Amino acid sequence: MDTYVVSGGNVLEGELVVQGSKNSALPIIASTILTGTTVILYNCPNISDTINLQNILRLLGNKITYENHKLVVDSSSCDINEIPANLMKEMRSSIILMGAILARTGRVVVSYPGGCEIGTRPIDLHLYGLQKLGANIIENHGYIICEASRLKGSEISLDFPSVGATENIMLAATLADGVTIIRNAAREPEIVELQNFLNLCGANIKGAGTSTVKIKGVPKLHEADYTVKSDRIVAGTYLCAAAMNKGKLCLKNVVIDNIWSIIHKLQETGCECRIINNDEIYIKAPKKLKAVKMIKTLPYPGFPTDMQSQMVTMLSIASGTSIVIENIFENRYKYIPELTKMGAEITIEGKAAIVKGVDKLNGATVEARELRGGASLVLAGLAADGYTKIEGTKYIERGYEDFTENLKRIGAKIDKE
Ligand code: UD1
* Cβ neighbours for 337, distance < 8 A, ≥ 6 positions apart: none
Measured in angstroms, how far is the CA atom of residue 162 from the centroid of ligand 1?
Answer: 5
The full length of the chain comes to: 417
Contact 354, 389 (CB under 8 A): no
Angle ∠(269,275,278) on CA atoms, nearest 5: 145
| 227, 253, 286 - which closes a domain | 227
My answer on whether 216 and 287 are in the same domain is: no
Domain count within the chain: 2
The per-residue pLDDT for 30 is: 97
Q: What percent of the chain has pLDDT over 90?
A: 91
Cα–Cα dist 327/192, whole Å? 23
My answer on whether 48 and 156 are in the same domain is: yes
The per-residue pLDDT for 164 is: 96
For residue 281, the one-letter residue type is I
- Is the pLDDT reported for residue 265 higher than 90? yes
Measured in angstroms, how far is the CA atom of residue 141 from the centroid of ligand 1?
Answer: 24
My answer on whether 207 and 73 are in the same domain is: yes
Closest protein CA for atom 22 of ligand 1: 122
- Residue numbers of the domain that contains 318: 3-19+230-416
My answer on whether 213 and 280 are in the same domain is: no
Q: Evaluate: CB of 163 within 6 angstroms of ligand 1.
A: yes
Ligand 1 pocket test, pick from 94, 121, 232, 398 with the greatest ligand atom count within 8 Å of Cβ, gives 121
| 227, 247, 272 - which closes a domain | 227
User: Residue 72: pLDDT band by 50, 70, 90 thresholds?
Assistant: very high
Q: Evaluate: CB of 93 within 6 angstroms of ligand 1.
A: yes
The per-residue pLDDT for 331 is: 87
Q: Evaluate: CB of 322 within 6 angstroms of ligand 1.
A: no
Q: pLDDT tens digits for 275-332?
A: 999 999 999 999 999 999 999 999 999 999 999 999 999 999 999 999 999 999 988 9
Measured in angstroms, how far is the CA atom of residue 356 from the centroid of ligand 1?
Answer: 29
Ligand 1 pocket test, pick from 328, 330, 400 with the greatest ligand atom count within 8 Å of Cβ, gives 328
Contact 148, 133 (CB under 8 A): yes
Contact 239, 249 (CB under 8 A): yes
My answer on whether 261 and 306 are in the same domain is: yes
My answer on whether 236 and 205 are in the same domain is: no
My answer on whether 50 and 191 are in the same domain is: yes
* Cβ neighbours for 53, distance < 8 A, ≥ 6 positions apart: 26, 29, 30, 91, 93, 94
Q: Evaluate: CB of 399 within 6 angstroms of ligand 1.
A: no
Q: Evaluate: CB of 306 within 6 angstroms of ligand 1.
A: yes
Q: Evaluate: CB of 50 within 6 angstroms of ligand 1.
A: no
Q: Evaluate: CB of 164 within 6 angstroms of ligand 1.
A: yes
My answer on whether 206 and 290 are in the same domain is: no
Mean pLDDT of the chain: 96
Measured in angstroms, how far is the CA atom of residue 305 from the centroid of ligand 1?
Answer: 10
CATH number for 184 = 3.65.10.10
Q: pLDDT tens digits for 41-65?
A: 999 999 999 999 999 999 999 999 9
Ligand 1 pocket test, pick from 160, 169, 327 with the greatest ligand atom count within 8 Å of Cβ, gives 160
My answer on whether 215 and 240 are in the same domain is: no
Catalytic site includes residue 78: no
pTM: 0.97
Closest protein CA for atom 15 of ligand 1: 23
Catalytic residue (choose from 44, 78, 116, 271): 116
Closest protein CA for atom 8 of ligand 1: 23
My answer on whether 38 and 12 are in the same domain is: no
Q: Is 141 exposed, middle or buried (0-12, 13-18, 19+ CB in 10 A)?
A: exposed
The per-residue pLDDT for 119 is: 66
Q: pLDDT tens digits for 19-38?
A: 999 999 999 999 999 999 99
Q: Evaluate: CB of 329 within 6 angstroms of ligand 1.
A: yes
| 227, 256, 278 - which closes a domain | 227
Q: How many CB atoms lie within 10 A of CB 62?
A: 20
Closest to 320 measured CA to CA, from 268, 243, 248, 385: 268
**Better-scored residue on pLDDT, 92 or 240:** 240
Closest to 8 measured CA to CA, from 409, 358, 417, 407: 407
My answer on whether 157 and 234 are in the same domain is: no
Measured in angstroms, how far is the CA atom of residue 129 from the centroid of ligand 1?
Answer: 15
Cα–Cα dist 187/210, whole Å? 5
Ligand 1 pocket test, pick from 162, 166, 194, 261 with the greatest ligand atom count within 8 Å of Cβ, gives 162
Angle ∠(143,148,152) on CA atoms, nearest 5: 130
My answer on whether 204 and 240 are in the same domain is: no
Cα–Cα dist 207/209, whole Å? 6
The per-residue pLDDT for 215 is: 98
